[in-house]
Chain A
């Protein structure tokens, strides 16, 4: 490699790297999502939900007081294409499996492929929630 080639390399290669990084960053982000191999997406346009859950005000206080709270089942089975909605009317945030629903917010999800999603749950006595998506 002669000096001229090296100078070209010094200028060109960084330009390519920076361009690639910036391009990759600008192309990131999408409304669609994937978790544990299941294709999921927001379902704000859904007219009807296969399952509609409401976390009422005072839920966190009831849990803290030692009461048994069971707003969602330990395991929920839905079909591909179904949508669910979780409305959190409590003053505290809640976690339902892989879904986080902040206080006062509504989460809607449609499931576009089969699979299993499982995680912690703050509104079931077992502390766990499994969602099974079947064909």
Chain B
């Protein structure tokens, strides 16, 4: 009887809890739906890499364009000053991209590059319509006078580095040809293999993540939830910063920030309902821990790759990712242990619920 009365909740509180639960479940379902839906990725998103590509020359020099590399070595981006026209040539010197004087961005649906550039390592999905010698058929894909694309002349195309290339050495420069206001312009891009990153931010993060949750658990449930919330907030910040670091046409992924954001929402909700339903608290912390674990697991290569697609300091990104990994695992373990501990401990923690 004592066990049964332990979960008796006042109707007003139950109503509040139900509303909160519906809100959390709705948020999570919405997030899951968004994640499951096809992302607006025109190309696969930039990921951690061991290379850094740089534009080493633009010949002849021109003020009409600015060419940069985004995501370490993933994308070439051209920004065209209004009033100038640029045509980017494909791998067979066919017209591939056109940025008009009014900023309209179009791609040539007859160019092989249009399809081949859809993926970082080159897409095999080349339709029959492709004919590099055909008259271009321009299709509008953007505006604003800038565009970024996977140009395979600007990065190494194999998962493994070339044999004989040591960190710090560069591959021979390659040319991305363009026509700027009718004048041929060569943009030379050089790709350099980077040294492996220091292992210490990852180790420090692994320890921090675990200690935050464990020490919080030792200090008490409230401290544990709050310390987990700090971890989720840090992970959300890292994810949002990464998402905002890259242009939208590069297809930045919602998962970069949405998973830790869900964890954050769960933990905030846990604080809001604190002391009202222990079972719900456990469920939310468990969900938050799993989200953090999943987020960190998806981006685990940030721990070992030299260059990360973010504007944040790489060591910070690595440290938070590692902390989320062990923090998430520890949250799950600690919560499961708490859920299945003897009832006496539960009663001691929640004296008001058993009254």
Q: Determine if A92 and B203 form an interchain contact, defined as CB atoms under 8 angstroms apart.
A: no
Q: Using a CB-CB cutoff of 8 Å, which residues 1-45 of chain A contact chain B?
A: 1, 3, 6-7, 9-10, 13-14, 17-18, 21-22, 25, 33, 35-36, 40
| B255 interfacial contact with A, CB 8 Å | no
| Cβ 8 A contact of B172, one of A9, A25, A40, A93 | A93
Min C-beta distance of B304 to chain A, whole Å: 10
A57 to B214, CA, bound (A): 63
A94 to B163, CA, bound (A): 12
Scoring B162, B170, B207, B211 by chain A CB atoms within 10 A of each residue's CB, the highest score goes to: B162
Scoring A18, A36, A100 by chain B CB atoms within 10 A of each residue's CB, the highest score goes to: A100
B214 contacts across to A, CB distance below 8 A: 6, 9-10
Q: Determine if A6 and B210 form an interchain contact, defined as CB atoms under 8 angstroms apart.
A: no
Q: Determine if B160 and A99 form an interchain contact, defined as CB atoms under 8 angstroms apart.
A: no
The count of residues in chain A whose C-beta lies closer than 8 Å to any C-beta of chain B is 33
Q: Determine if A21 and B199 form an interchain contact, defined as CB atoms under 8 angstroms apart.
A: yes
A3 contacts across to B, CB distance below 8 A: 218
Q: Determine if B199 and A25 form an interchain contact, defined as CB atoms under 8 angstroms apart.
A: yes
| Cβ 8 A contact of A100, one of B171, B217, B334, B337 | B171
Are A98 and B162 CB-contacts (below 8 A) given A21-B203, A25-B199, A122-B172? yes
| A130 interfacial contact with B, CB 8 Å | no
Q: Determine if B215 and A102 form an interchain contact, defined as CB atoms under 8 angstroms apart.
A: no
Q: Determine if A100 and B162 form an interchain contact, defined as CB atoms under 8 angstroms apart.
A: yes
| B164 interfacial contact with A, CB 8 Å | yes
A116 contacts across to B, CB distance below 8 A: none
| B206 interfacial contact with A, CB 8 Å | yes
Q: Determine if A95 and B207 form an interchain contact, defined as CB atoms under 8 angstroms apart.
A: no
Min C-beta distance of B93 to chain A, whole Å: 12
A 84-111 binary contact with B (CB < 8 Å = 1; else 0): 0000000011110011111001010100
Q: Report the tally of A-B residue pairs with Cβ distances under 8 A.
A: 75
Are A119 and B207 CB-contacts (below 8 A) given A7-B218, A10-B215? no
A9 to B333, CA, bound (A): 12
Q: Which residue of B lies closest to A17 (CB)?
A: B206
B137 contacts across to A, CB distance below 8 A: none
A82 contacts across to B, CB distance below 8 A: none
B160 contacts across to A, CB distance below 8 A: 35-36, 98
B 181-219 binary contact with A (CB < 8 Å = 1; else 0): 000000000000000000100110011001100110110
| B40 interfacial contact with A, CB 8 Å | no
Q: Which residue of A lies closest to B334 (CB)?
A: A1
B171 contacts across to A, CB distance below 8 A: 93, 95, 100
Q: Which residue of B lies closest to A105 (CB)?
A: B164
Q: Determine if B326 and A100 form an interchain contact, defined as CB atoms under 8 angstroms apart.
A: no
A17 contacts across to B, CB distance below 8 A: 203, 206-207, 210, 326
| A70 interfacial contact with B, CB 8 Å | no
Min C-beta distance of B339 to chain A, whole Å: 12
A 32-70 binary contact with B (CB < 8 Å = 1; else 0): 010110001000000000000000000010000000000
Q: Determine if B157 and A33 form an interchain contact, defined as CB atoms under 8 angstroms apart.
A: no
| A120 interfacial contact with B, CB 8 Å | yes
Are A102 and B199 CB-contacts (below 8 A) given A14-B207, A17-B206? no
| B25 interfacial contact with A, CB 8 Å | no
A97 to B137, CA, bound (A): 34
A21 contacts across to B, CB distance below 8 A: 199, 202-203, 206
A109 to B164, CA, bound (A): 10
Q: Determine if A94 and B172 form an interchain contact, defined as CB atoms under 8 angstroms apart.
A: yes
A100 contacts across to B, CB distance below 8 A: 162-165, 169, 171
Q: Using a CB-CB cutoff of 8 Å, which residues 8-58 of chain B contact chain A?
A: none
- B contacts, CB < 8 Å to A: 157-158, 160, 162-165, 169-172, 199, 202-203, 206-207, 210-211, 214-215, 217-218, 326, 334, 337, 341
9 interchain pairs, CB-CB under 8 A: A10-B218, A17-B326, A21-B203, A25-B199, A33-B163, A35-B160, A35-B163, A36-B160, A95-B172
Identify 10 new A-B residue pairs, CB closer than 8 A, beyond the known A6-B218, A98-B158, A122-B172: A1-B334, A6-B217, A9-B214, A14-B210, A17-B207, A35-B158, A35-B160, A105-B164, A107-B163, A119-B158
